[in-house]
Structure 1
Amino acid sequence: MLSMGSVVMGAADVHRAAAFWMRALGYVPRDGDVEDDWTVLVPAEGRGTAVSLGLSETPVQEHPRVHLDLYATDQAAEVERLIALGAERVDWDLYGGDCYFVVLADTEGNRFCVIDKS
């Protein structure tokens, strides 16, 4: 049997990416420190899917095949909080009418969605 261990994302600056995701998700480095080329972040309170960040020189994909969906009970407040942490809005060309998600990019340009859970 398999279970989800970690979602891995590339970063040109692992420290900058780790700082963003630690503040965004309330995660901490699994091994106590963030390394220059690799780190695994885990929920501070224990259980949950880890986020791993690896040094990468690969360009960010405009329409990535894999991305994070973050669920929010107050989508507008979470989007503004994430922007204040360094995320940027993405001019997403695939929005439909009555869209329930907002596409943002982290400090490394990795796209992710904030889903309106309501």
Structure 2
Amino acid sequence: MGAIHEIVFDCDKPAILARFWASLLDGYAVRSYDDVEIAKLAALGFTPETDPTVMVDGPGPSLCFQNVEGRRYDNNRVHFDVDAVDRAAEVERLKQLGATLDRVLPTYTVMKDPEGNQFCLVDRRQDAAAPEIAAQDAA
């Protein structure tokens, strides 16, 4: 069995959409940027406003807003990332329940539910407080 790791939004402007959802939901806020993170972004040519991946944290699952330009009708724009203790075993269990395997990558597996909605299985974080994103791009 898995647990919701985060809810991922594919979008054109992650910072704008992240601020919207943080304002909409009680107890949620855009994850702050420290000097180290700002320096990493700058080295890649980004600022917090142009960051291609913006996180929102609150009392429930984190929300991840990632830049995916253009609308693709073969890829849902919102999907769950689900923690899995044993990703390979969970893939097999979910296939028995009617899911299909789309692709396997080093840190996550893209699957589809019985109606074709995408979701990702990610390796359960060892340190739940670590603000890492396991699935940067499920596209």
TM-score interval (norm. to shorter): 0.3 to 0.5
> Which protein is bigger by CA-based radius of gyration?
2
TM-score, scaled to structure 1: 0.43
